[in-house]
Amino acid sequence: MAHFFIEVTELEKYRQEYERWLSSDVVDEESKEELRALAGDEAQIEDRFDSMMTFGTAGLRGFMRAGLKGMNVYTVRYATQGFAEMILTCGEDSGGGVVIAHDCRNNSRLFAEEAACVMAANGIKTYIFDDLRPTPELSFAVRELGCIAGINITASHNPKEYNGYKAYWSDGAQLSPERASAVSAAIDRTDIFSGIKRIPFDEGVESGKIIIIGKEVDDKYISNVFAESIGEKYVKEVADDFSILYTPFHGCGYKMVPQILSMIGMKHVHTVPEQMVIDGNFPTVKSPNPENVEGFELAIKYAKELGDDLIIGTDPDSDRCGIAVRRGDEYVALSGNQLGCLLIDFIITVRREQGNLPADAAAIRSIVSTTMADRICEMNGVHIDATFTGFKYIGEKVSEYLDTGSHTFIFGFEESIGFLAGTYARDKDAVIASMLIAEMACWYKARGMNMAEGLEELYHKYGYYREKTISHYLVGFNPQQRMTKRMAEIRADLPTELGYPVIGVKDYLNDIETNMITGETKPIGLGQSDVLIFTLEGDGTCAIRPSGTEPKIKLYVMARGESVEDADAKVEKIIEKSLALLSV
């Protein structure tokens, strides 16, 4: 009987919330119509109302739809009220206020204004950009304006049905797990309808509680990006004969990427006209993610017609940057790992030639990014650190370098095409990545090479490293619970062979590194994150982690071989034996 009672109670809980939305005077009629259409579909009602979206270190992300588990004006207000209460009770000075930005997605401006209305009503000075802006500019603006926090309405590279809410702290990085938990707790204490403080947007602007910002911040941001330029000499050498095709994938990079390329002296920058049009439906791309080569289909068509040497693509919020390089009559896409290694080598080499490579120079990568970066840094006497996945951790490490004076940051990257140089921001930046990639392409051009050939040169110098990432998407309900359960099952029965014998395991959730040969264990000392990394005999690595923003488990496989073919064969062998780990 007790089990039956619990089931009924849970049923009543989500059903009551569903009915409350339908009867609320706060909820608009269009949303109610959407919800009425769910009548009779118990699974859909449960999925939308059994709980609020989880507010984590990446904020919120989900489908734009009515209900607790959807991105809509009510959940945006709800999250912002919790964020405001955390700010007001955190014990730090909130006088600097909050700055809000948004991307090109459907409803992003609406959600940004709603967030501003709630922050202002809570007595927090609120800045909001006059139009869409790149995510890294929001990170910069938090620091430049002396704000205690920032909000960016974006779902990055996700499909058009998604939107999201990223929360930043005064250092310009996304919230730490502790602060995200404090916001989540504040949300839980608040009623989604009666607990929200809000003023009309126009009233906030007229009263000075909401301050609209624009070009004055743009100019400072782009100036900071330009200050990191290191390839002016090489651009001048080849600019007459070198051309770039750029696409913003209908998003925020449409203005600043062409601007920065012009500033460094690029003379021939073409664009994809259809994709320079701001459109949250992303009508011309199969995926608005420049990490996926299919997104470059239209760009490659134009590049072939124009004879461009390089294609650069930035995602809708302009924090990720992908490329394709002309090699003969075709265009070759490079991965985030390959591009990261090329950039590290370029920055180290050119800075050393120019005499401005710091003696205490340091680079940073995520723990699932290629160890080839470690080899490059080691052979060049540059320190490198590895952080958890999520650029906020790279941002935190940059701040640590500055606070302690231990190292001078020169470059950081994630395998998922996120890059940063300079300390003006604490998030990945496709604007500076575009600039550095263009300069690097000119550097190779001046040496009679393209970047694909440059990568071959790196392999000869540092070793043949290959990497592959596989995403296993979960369909159906409660994907987060199922992913958590699967990770627990793997930990309870660790594999001893994944194509090659497992010689070590790093369990970042439990902060334990295990030597599988001797059985010895020791703390990792990096903190906690739901990631497992298996070190394999013969220079192979397999990492597994559930995504924090999408319903998928990701498998990262890396290997070093005697040749590219040997390394590729090792990667495929590891994948073949590792795919069972993704089954949920």
Exposure of 69 in the CB half-sphere (CA atoms within 13 A): 15
* Category of 146 on φ-ψ map: left (φ > 0), alpha (ψ -120 to 50) or beta: left
Q: Count H helices and E strands in the chain, helices first.
A: 19, 22
Q: Residues 6 or more apart from 506 whose CB is under 8 A from it?
A: 512, 513, 514, 524, 531, 532, 533, 535
Core vs surface per residue 451-470: b (16+ CB within 10 A) or e? bbebbeebbeebbbbbbbbe
**Is residue 363's pLDDT more than 50?**
yes
* Pick from 146, 65, 80: nearest CA to 119: 80
**3-class SS letters over 100-126:** EEECCCCCHHHHHHHHHHHHHHCCCCE
Specify whether the CB–CB gap between 337 and 291 falls below 8 A: no
Look at strands 552-561 and 540-546 and give their pairing: antiparallel
Q: Does the pLDDT at position 4 exceed 80?
A: no
Q: How confident is the model at residue 7 (pLDDT cuts 50, 70, 90)?
A: very low
Cα 410 from Cα 359, distance rounded (Å): 11
Q: In sequence order, what are the beta bridge partners of 129?
A: 213
d(CA 490, CA 478): 19
CB contact at 8 A, 64 and 71:
yes
Sign of CA dihedral 330, 335, 337, 341: positive
Distance CA 574, CA 201 (A): 55
Percentage with pLDDT > 70 across the chain: 98
H helix or E strand, kind and range, residue 223: helix 215-226
C-beta separation of 72 from 121 below 8 A: no
Neighbour-count burial of 121, counting CB atoms closer than 10 A to its CB (0-12 exposed, 13-18 middle, 19+ buried): buried
Q: What is the dihedral of CA 251, 253, 259, 263, to 10 degrees?
A: -160
For residue 58, the model assigns a pLDDT of: 83
pLDDT digits (tens, 9 = 90+) for 122-153: 999 999 999 999 999 999 999 999 999 999 99
3-class DSSP state of 321: strand
pLDDT number for residue 3:
39
Of 428, 444, 515, 524, nearest in space to 174 by CA:
428
Report the C-alpha gap between 368 and 388 in whole angstroms: 8
**pLDDT on residue 11:** 61
What pLDDT does residue 479 have?
Answer: 80
pLDDT at 2 over 50: no
The pLDDT tens digits of the residues spanning 379-423 come to 999 999 999 999 999 999 999 999 999 999 999 999 999 999 999
pLDDT value at residue 548: 72
CA distances from 477 to 46, 152, 358, 474, 523 (A): 9, 27, 51, 9, 35
Confidence bin at 315 (pLDDT 50/70/90): very high
Query: In this structure, are residues 374 and 384 in contact, taking their beta carbons and an 8 Å threshold?
Result: yes
517: phi then psi, degrees, rounded to nearest 5: -85, -45
Amino acid at 28: D
> Hey, how many other C-beta atoms are within 10 angstroms of the C-beta on 512?
14
Look up tokens 């709980």; give the residue: 51
CA distance between the termini of the chain: 31
Exposed, middle or buried by CB within 10 Å (0-12, 13-18, 19+), for 292?
A: middle
pLDDT surpasses 90 at 8: no
Q: Is the pLDDT of residue 14 over 70?
A: yes
**444-486: per-residue pLDDT in tens?**
999 999 999 999 999 999 999 999 999 888 877 778 788 889 9
For a pLDDT cut of 90, what percent of the chain falls above it?
Answer: 90
Average pLDDT of the residues of the chain: 95
Residues 6 or more apart whose CB falls under 8 angstroms from that of 4 comprise none
- Distances 160 to 108, 155, 157, 279, 287 between C-alpha atoms, Å: 11, 9, 9, 10, 9
Q: How far is CA 525 from CA 57, 398, 504, 549, in A?
A: 20, 18, 16, 25
Torsion of CA 299, 305, 307, 313, to 10 degrees: -10
Rounded mean pLDDT, 551-562: 93
Give me the long-range contacts of 452-459 (CB less than 8 A, separation at least 24): 452/325, 452/327, 452/332, 452/334, 453/327, 454/342, 455/334, 455/338, 455/341, 455/342, 458/341, 458/342, 458/345, 458/372, 458/376, 459/564
pLDDT at 480: 79
Give pLDDT, residue 9: 57
**pLDDT for residue 514 is more than 50:** yes
Q: How does residue 567 score in pLDDT terms, banded at 50, 70 and 90?
A: very high
CB-CB contact of 567 with 559 (8 Å): yes
Residue 208: CB partners within 8 Å, gap ≥ 6?
A: none
Q: How far apart are CA 62 and CA 208, in angstroms?
A: 32
What domains can be seen in the chain, in order of their start residue?
Answer: 51-213 (3.40.120.10), 225-462 (3.40.120.10), 464-582 (3.30.310.50)
Is 80 exceeded by the pLDDT of residue 371? yes
The torsion angles phi and psi of 408, rounded to 5 degrees, stand at -110, 120
d(CA 508, CA 543) in angstroms, rounded, equals 11
Contact between 195 and 111 under an 8 Å Cβ cutoff? The reply is no
Instruction: Dig out the tokens for 295 from the structure.
Output: 């997104």
User: Does the pLDDT of residue 549 top 80, yes or no?
Assistant: no
How much is the average pLDDT of 487-515?
A: 95
Amino acid 6: pLDDT: 40
**In this predicted model, what pLDDT tens digit does every residue of 271-303 receive, in sequence order?**
999 999 999 999 999 889 999 888 999 999 999
Question: How confident is the model over 557-571, as a mean pLDDT?
Answer: 96
Q: Which pair of tokens denotes residue 167?
A: 């929360």
For residue 473, the tally of other CB atoms under 10 A from its CB is 12
Give 29-64 pLDDT, tens digit per residue. Answer: 999 999 999 998 999 999 999 999 989 888 999 999
**Which residues are identified as catalytic?**
156
How does strand 502-507 pair with strand 532-536? antiparallel
Q: Is the pLDDT of residue 12 over 90?
A: no
Q: What angle do CA 211, 84, 134 make, to 5 degrees?
A: 55
